[in-house]
Chains A and B, each alone.
Chain A
């Protein structure tokens, strides 16, 4: 009897194992769900454009991997964490989605990656800024591709402090993203012998920044750092120019996406420096891809769009190399293989899921330097990935 039990057990384990092996060849297709902001403030940064970029990668890959078709589906997170995580849960539990791409707002991504991690599905994060996904909420299934707050702070703040601009004033968006950005940037300032002389935390979607600009003016700072994004940056910068702040001190936009830079008057924004993970007009390779994207999407790619393409391509290559779409095997391959394309230069995907690659320290062009409305940035220097990104935390080392 005992013998019988053992045999039965062995048989069922074998059956389970073989069904697991069957599952490795998956449901007969590879399905990528793109979660993005289709109609909100980040729609230009990673909305339909992220879907288009993901589709372009699938088409360029050939539409199939390991003989299985690749399918891209998409949904609008409405910038709400509860909506985003509910969609992702439906995707991974009922619709056999293998990886979730897009992923814009840090708040939504925080909620969505909890679901993907629980379900052991891969989160391909293109546009979110927070560094939490590879630090305090790191996961073996997170891949953070384009940039993060640490890279922005190291890229923009460090060279300015080293050049002798020691006193800083922050105008910070008063929520998780702004606080994170201000935090890492302050650390960079203090570590390099500078000091933070003041902080004004403006609520998200503040229309009038003139009051904060006056505070910055009387602070005696060398640089005013804008630790915000989107329309908040545009409005803050407009007020800075209007109240003559830009003539008194430097303004550093810590996070400026190309669509936002396009929305700024060159007379106002010209000369401001920032850090980006990608610029479309950097060289022939970036121009070639960007031209194709422009034909499809109608506007130049923001860094998240290029990142979405690049990470999707890397993901598909890893499936091919692994011979399966099983998340653990694919993650292992993704980390083994070096990403290398028009976007990912001198790149590695670290064990913590952070993709470390060259970043670009850029200056927004003045009116007389621009050929046309797409001619926005002048690349000042290339920042090697290991200088831009913070080192890996030991507790996030998922080999």
Chain B
């Protein structure tokens, strides 16, 4: 077996690939938050709950409506996005002019309530959701066994992240959005309906969390606290990447997946802290984040 400095290289390649897979999943998760937190400046603590909602919605759709995984991939993000739209319109909008702390506390409250309701209705031990038949196989690589579903996560994540980045950074719609968040009064004077743009963007960001939830359902335990475990990590990724930078969040998500993967290999005990360590270092050296614009 190939070794380098006493490290099993095959094992290392495997860990790098697994890190990359998790990274692409982090990228997908942080994308929604990067839009809501980074562009709209709303601290949405319910983003983790929306991810949980997506996973539960996939399970409910299969159980009660007979919708399979592929249908859920389309329907659930729309439904969760709609929840986001309603939440923005009726809960967040009324306090939009208050301090950011208000939206933080409000969304945190919403997250706790959602988590409580699902624990009450479905228990705390989670539900089972199978990997779709078409993706249940795998490929034998020289250094590891790559399940098809994980390969699918990388592909789907790259496509969704790429499209979102392109839409926000390169299209007219994206330009309106960026300008609308930068200087709402001016945009409104030009006849652009800024509140509507904000509502739809919030819904889109929340819908992305729902999509990540559907993608997570087959591989992770579908349980009420699945979102709260990930939320803080995802916030850290957006902060490291830099507020307002969509590309930054995507690249940071990938990088953090790899760094976390390597930590799991060399010193697993630190794997849930390493991302925060990186965050501290980045904030000290470059307060605006790796890809953020200096304020």
Chains A and B come from one and the same complex: yes
Instruction: Enumerate B250-272 residues with CB–CB distance to A below 8 Å.
Output: 261, 264-265, 268-269, 271-272
| Contact indicator per residue, chain B 225-239, by CB within 8 Å of chain A (1) or not (0) | 110011000000000
Q: Which among A10-18, A263-271, A277-285 touches the partner chain?
A: A263-271
| Inter-chain contact B147/A242, CB cutoff 8 Å | yes
| Inter-chain contact A41/B268, CB cutoff 8 Å | no
- The A/B interface has a contact count, at CB < 8 Å, of 121
**Within 8 Å of chain A (Cβ to Cβ): is B126?**
yes
Q: Which residue on chain B has the smallest CB distance to residue A172? A: B268
**Given A214-B11, A214-B144, A202 and B268 contact (CB-CB distance below 8 Å):** yes
Q: Among A44, A218, A238, A267, which residue has its beta carbon within 8 angstroms of that of B221? A: A238
A259 to B127, CA, bound (A): 10
Interface residues on A, range: 35 or more
**Within 8 Å of chain A (Cβ to Cβ): is B174?**
no
**Within 8 Å of chain B (Cβ to Cβ): is A212?**
yes
| Inter-chain contact A231/B269, CB cutoff 8 Å | no
**Given A211-B19, A243-B145, A259 and B123 contact (CB-CB distance below 8 Å):** yes
| Contact indicator per residue, chain B 107-150, by CB within 8 Å of chain A (1) or not (0) | 00000000010011001111111110000001000001101011
A201 to B263, CA, bound (A): 12
| Inter-chain contact A242/B131, CB cutoff 8 Å | yes
Instruction: Enumerate A207-262 residues with CB–CB distance to B below 8 Å.
Output: 207-208, 210-212, 214-215, 217-218, 230-231, 234-235, 238-239, 242-244, 257, 259-260, 262
Q: Among B25, B125, B149, B219, which residue has its beta carbon within 8 angstroms of that of A231? A: B125
B-side interface residues toward A, CB under 8 Å? 8, 10-11, 14-15, 18-19, 21-22, 25, 116, 119-120, 123-131, 138, 144-145, 147, 149-150, 219-221, 223, 225-226, 229-230, 261, 264-265, 268-269, 271-272
A-side interface residues toward B, CB under 8 Å? 39-45, 47, 174, 200-203, 205-208, 210-212, 214-215, 217-218, 230-231, 234-235, 238-239, 242-244, 257, 259-260, 262-265, 267-268, 299
Beyond the given A200-B268, A210-B150, A215-B11, please list 18 additional residue pairs across the A-B interface where CB-CB is below 8 A: A39-B124, A44-B124, A203-B269, A207-B226, A207-B230, A210-B21, A211-B15, A211-B264, A212-B268, A231-B221, A234-B125, A242-B219, A243-B145, A259-B125, A260-B126, A262-B128, A263-B125, A265-B130
